[in-house]
Chain A
Amino acid sequence: MNILLSWLRDYIDIQVPPLQIADALMMAGIEVEAIHEPGKHLQKVVVGRILTRAPHPNADKLSLCTVDVGQAAPLQIVCGAPNCDPGAKVPTALVGAVLPSGFEIRVARIRGVESAGMLCSRKELGLGDDHSGLYHLPPEAPVGEDIVKALGMDDVVFTIAITPNRGDALSHLGIARELSALFNLPLHRNSLDDARGDGDIREQTAVTLEEPALCPRYGARIVRDVTVGDSPRWLRERLEKIGIRSINNIVDITNYVMMDIGHPMHAFDLDKLAEQRIVVRRAAAGEKLHCLDGVTRALDPSMLVIADARRPVALAGVMGGEETGVTAATRHVLLEAACFDPVTVRKTAKALAMTTDSSYRFERGTNIDNVPIALNLAARLIRELAGGRPVGGLLDAYPAPPPLRRIMLRTRRVARVLGVDLKPAQIETLLLRLKFEVSREGETLWVGVPPFRHDIEQEADLIEEVARLYGYGNIPATLPTLFSQPVLPTPLQRLTGQVRTAMVDQGFHEIITYSFIPTTIHESLREGPPLAIRNPLSEDQGHLRTSLLWGMIDALTRNIFNDEYDLRFFEIGRVFRPDASGFAREADHLCLGCAGPANPADWRHSKEPFDLYRMKGLLGRLGHLLPVEFEFARGNHPALHPARQLEISCQNRRLGVVGQIHPRFRTNKKLPEEWFVGELDLSALSQLKPRKRLMQPIPAFPAIRRDLAILLPKTATFQDVERIVREAGGEILEKCALFDVYEGKGIDPDKRSLALELRFRAKDRTLKEEEVQPKLEAMISQIATTLGGKLRE
């Protein structure tokens, strides 16, 4: 909303600089987004009248003008514009002026002739792009007057953002009222207007109010014999400066009243109203209205309409109908000023997907007392500016004027909430400045709320008003003295922090991807039905993710397309799945994504590719954060390579998957064949029971080490071997570690060799070779019979 300083001065005699006004409003909760002072930088440019024009003696395209600028003698100015016609009034930059372009005017000799100023185009004044000729000013512009004043640029426009609670501030009166409180200045109200006129309105129209709950007050006046035409300059300028297009004098006047006192109005063409009367009712099912914006809208009974005897003629508080609107041919006008229920206006505007200056104000609450004031102000302006004759009186359907709302304010409560000891008299003074009515009973104030302050409903609201005017800056700063119970981080919070550190330590970069996934996502990435968003920004963001895999594959893909191949990403984020009743069940997941080398090649090491086992290791080590031991089994996630994937579980809970991305997602040759992802349910993991950690005594006796290389069919797993070895090794087998896996040259193609490091130790004595040998033999024979393996020679 734009507010004009000169307009504010209709109400308040405020003389402080614009910046100070803006600052005061900001510190009172009214945000000033911009201050526009169009004439601020234009000085020493005046209205000049061209007296004579003669050709320049030494240049074909230049003219030699004499210009009256209100000084004793006319100035001689050389001009290159084609339209420097004698008699024209043009902006004249005097010597010493600095134009917006930075050009400074001096006495100059142009082709041998002295020139003492410059005649200007719009562009040269910074008022637009027109540089075709001089800016011809209106003939009534006084010669010698400062151009800023002559063009009405000596004004200040404040662009103001009003929070939704402050409907009362959506006008010049509203802002002036605020300033009057802030600067403690009197607020003027003009009392020129009354309901006098020719005849009696009650004999010429009628208002039937069928829905007083949705329209507590409806007022109407009639003005006859209007001449619809252009608005006078002052009106046009005021509206245009605040960004409202001038339409015609009648419409401009209703807009003016709205911006002046904050009350939206509407003007009907009286002759076009069936039976020339008004009915305020709900729309009937099936009714339609062709609105002023040219759109025909279907109505329903939840909507309140203004109707004539036959049909709806306006959407109450939102927009008028085109058929009954004011046109050039209109002779008699019925003016409407009313108060509509905010919720109904809002529902109607929302249902029809429209917002108007009117609906915006009604939604935020209007001043019910303004109904007659708006009507009388508009009627007077029409009489003055459109030659109309107001009909006497106003119709005022106002069945139940609300009583003055009174709210109790305990001054002790003010002190307790604000932490500053304000005296009752001080509080009273502050509230009076804000136009509240106050009566004091000891330490309690009874505060009457003016009808424009719909936001003041309870004691806390009054405390805010007191604080606002007292100044938030004047409230001291202290620290709360309360003592509260210690609350530890949840297991998930702790785990999340540890996982983050662990992943960064492994060279992973954290990413944050959107929680949305496309509705067209590949079936294999769905993991069950996702939750759908009713109003997504686009189909690409139509569902909530059920896993982090899609976002990770997308992130890897987009980086690879940017020629970045060395990638290791992790994300920790929420996933959403519907529970049995369709509501979201949420969990925090970790997702890893890797492409490129596992060790970026450096000058000493060559690149090593990521593979399934490295991924397994990266995820597996996270179990130690609790600690728990993960179990890995062959997985069957459809988004992963069918053979190269593992399912992760622990304590009989499935925790996640890890594996190579399914080749179907390699949609472009640029993408690698081997790239990997892993996902872990951190919420589930954090709930697992950690292994108990009890110290084992440090071994006191030496160990015996044996290496075992076993050749066995590829179908036998390491786990099979390990189980046999551990069983046969018994209590004295301290360690069984795999240190080499070999297949290929020199070995039967169906077989591979596993090399194990075994360490035997007894807790209570030095172990003897003879004790170890039978164990080894038992292992070998068991491996031979169960797995078909043998010692590798």
Chain B
Amino acid sequence: MTDNPETLWHQFDEERRRAASSKDAEALRIKYLGKKGPLSALLKTLGSLPPDQRKTAGEAINRLKARLEQAVEQLIAEFAEREADAALRADLPDPTLPGTVLPMGSLHPVTQIGLEVAAIFLSMGFFLAEGPEAEDEYYNFEALNVPKHHPARDMQDTFYLENGQVLRTQTSPVQIRTMEMIKPPFKMIALGKVYRRDSDITHSPMFSQMEGLVVGENVSMADLKGTLAAFAEKMFGRRPTRFRPSFFPFTEPSAEMDVQCIFCEGKGCKVCKNSGWMEILGCGMVNPRVFEAVEYDPEKYTGFAFGMGIERMAMQRFGIDDIRLLFGSDIRFLRQF
């Protein structure tokens, strides 16, 4: 039996360290603070002390009591929290079991690339125009400076409808329809399906194009280069581009834009046929004859136009080697996107 508060605290402190659960803590409380505990015993010794010591000893015992009570309570609370936490952790789920919600579907790779391309131009202030897929020959050809019996018609093998209309071979007729409706200045794009009479692993009779047209009072070929280079940087990352002269009846001068091959970084590979460059789009300054067809004053306005195939970009991006996969609706293919 202890007769000294100091020793008693040390004894408690010793036992407290060995406590491992709220049960142990509760036992400590009963042991030290209970009626039969050493604290009660100490209190009982007070009476036997001389009166002049009684006060000091009583205070010491009371301090010890308060200290013990606080320590025990703290111990109990700590264990309670720890044990509650352990109880929560006891029901540990298997984090590797699959989630049970319906899996996401997917957008077609061509849609994904089309939206990506469109978003870049929309962010530059272009708007998205629409036009019919079954077109009048005038809009698809004549208004775009492709007269009948011109060899340029060989560039695009055309589907004709029995009613005399054509399936548009390019999204360029949307340029004409837009210009007939609104006055410059404007920046527009058109995204949609086009049709050419051609079918093999790199050609589909139906594919998607994105067309762009900018018309204003002082739009120059330098603006064309700047705009399309900005597009290319967003689409393909910072890499060299080049503009080569080409021929489209509705632009003059005409160009094709190449981007350094994204697969070989210009060193030459199978994808770029060892050229180091990937052909991305055709473009040019709007031919004054096109402006004449829509009654814009070619002296007042200049502009540039461009067009690109979406499938080819999707094929490059995703490493798709046969264009027919895009139109095969095969879930084993679609699921990958």
Contact = CB atoms under 8 A, between A and B. Distances in A.
A351 B205 CA distance: 24
Contacts of B102: 506-507, 599-600
Contacts of B331: 509, 559, 562, 564, 567, 569
A558 B329 contact: yes
A555 interface: yes
Interface string B253-271: 1110000000000000000
A165 B247 contact: yes
Interface stretch (B37-45, B61-69, B150-158): B150-158
B165 interface: yes
Interface string A164-191: 1110000000000000000000000000
Interface string B182-220: 001111100001010101000001100000001011111
Contacts of A163: 246-247
A531 B134 contact: yes
Nearest to B289: A458
Contacts of B163: 531, 578, 582-584
B149 interface: yes
B229 interface: yes
A563 to B, nearest CB: 10
A651 B79 CA distance: 67
Contact of B104 (A507, A514, A551): A507
Given A531-B163, A534-B161, A504 B206 contact: no
Given A343-B149, A477-B229, A515-B133, A472 B255 contact: yes
A202 interface: no
A485 B188 CA distance: 11
A468 B245 contact: yes
B126 to A, nearest CB: 9
Given A482-B217, A515-B133, A602-B98, A460 B285 contact: yes
Interface stretch (A134-142, A323-331, A398-406, A414-422): A414-422
Nearest to A30: B245
B221 interface: yes
Given A514-B206, A544-B134, A562-B332, A508 B105 contact: yes
Contacts of B195: 515
B74 interface: no
Contacts of A573: 193
Contact of A364 (B104, B151, B161): B151
Given A419-B222, A479-B227, A541-B205, A603 B329 contact: no
For A417, A481, A567, A599, which residue has the most chain B Cβ atoms within 10 angstroms?
A417
A516 interface: yes
Interface stretch (A8-16, A100-108, A223-231, A486-494): A486-494
Interface in B227-250: 227, 229-230, 242-247
A507 B106 CA distance: 7
A550 to B, nearest CB: 12
A513 interface: yes
B128 A484 contact: no
A600 B151 CA distance: 55
B329 to A, nearest CB: 4
A27 B244 contact: yes
A147 interface: no
A533 B253 CA distance: 35
Given A480-B216, A567-B331, A515 B193 contact: yes
Interface stretch (B6-14, B15-23, B107-115): B107-115
A461 B252 contact: yes
Nearest to A593: B329
Nearest to B228: A477
A483 B134 contact: no
Interface in A450-495: 458-461, 463-464, 467-468, 472-473, 475-490, 492-493
Contacts of B150: 164
B100 interface: yes
A285 interface: no
B225 A504 contact: no
B256 to A, nearest CB: 9
A500 B111 contact: yes
A532 interface: yes
A664 interface: no
A417 B221 contact: yes
Instruction: Determine the interface band of chain A, counting residues with CB < 8 A from chain B.
Output: 35 or more
A578 B206 CA distance: 20
A482 B155 contact: no
A343 B100 CA distance: 68
Given A458-B288, A513-B327, A484 B105 contact: no
Given A480-B216, A503-B105, A467 B221 contact: yes
B247 A476 contact: no
B330 A584 contact: no
A476 B225 contact: yes
A554 B246 CA distance: 41
B1 interface: no
B185 A476 contact: no
Contacts of B128: 489-490, 493
Nearest to B199: A537
B221 A418 contact: yes
Nearest to B258: A26
B197 A478 contact: no
Given A479-B230, A515-B133, A467 B253 contact: yes
Given A490-B130, A515-B193, A603 B159 contact: no
B231 to A, nearest CB: 11
Contacts of B206: 514-516
A586 interface: yes
A535 interface: yes
A505 B103 CA distance: 8
Contacts of A476: 222, 225-226
Contact of A416 (B161, B187, B220, B252): B220
A61 to B, nearest CB: 42
Contact of B134 (A419, A472, A568, A584): A584
A647 interface: no
Contact of A419 (B188, B221, B287, B289): B221
B162 interface: yes
Contacts of B327: 512-514
A604 interface: yes
Contacts of B329: 511-513, 551, 554-555, 558-559, 569
B34 interface: no
B86 interface: no
B97 interface: yes
B330 A487 contact: no
Contacts of A599: 102
B335 interface: yes
A507 B226 contact: no
Contacts of B155: 164
A164 B154 contact: yes
A603 B253 contact: no
A388 B162 CA distance: 56
A576 B330 CA distance: 25
Contact of B103 (A346, A420, A507): A507
Interface in A523-553: 531-537, 541, 544, 551
29 contacts: A29-B247, A418-B220, A460-B253, A463-B252, A463-B253, A468-B245, A472-B245, A476-B226, A478-B223, A480-B226, A480-B227, A484-B185, A484-B187, A487-B127, A489-B127, A489-B128, A504-B107, A508-B105, A510-B108, A512-B108, A515-B133, A515-B167, A531-B161, A531-B163, A536-B159, A544-B167, A558-B329, A568-B105, A599-B102
Interface of B: 97-98, 100, 102-108, 110-111, 125, 127-128, 130, 132-134, 149-152, 154-155, 159-163, 165, 167, 184-188, 193, 195, 197, 199, 205-206, 214, 216-223, 225-227, 229-230, 242-247, 252-255, 285, 287-289, 302, 326-332, 334-335
Given A534-B160, A544-B161, 17 more contacts: A163-B247, A458-B289, A459-B288, A464-B245, A468-B253, A480-B216, A482-B218, A484-B187, A504-B106, A509-B334, A512-B108, A531-B162, A535-B159, A554-B329, A558-B330, A576-B134, A604-B100
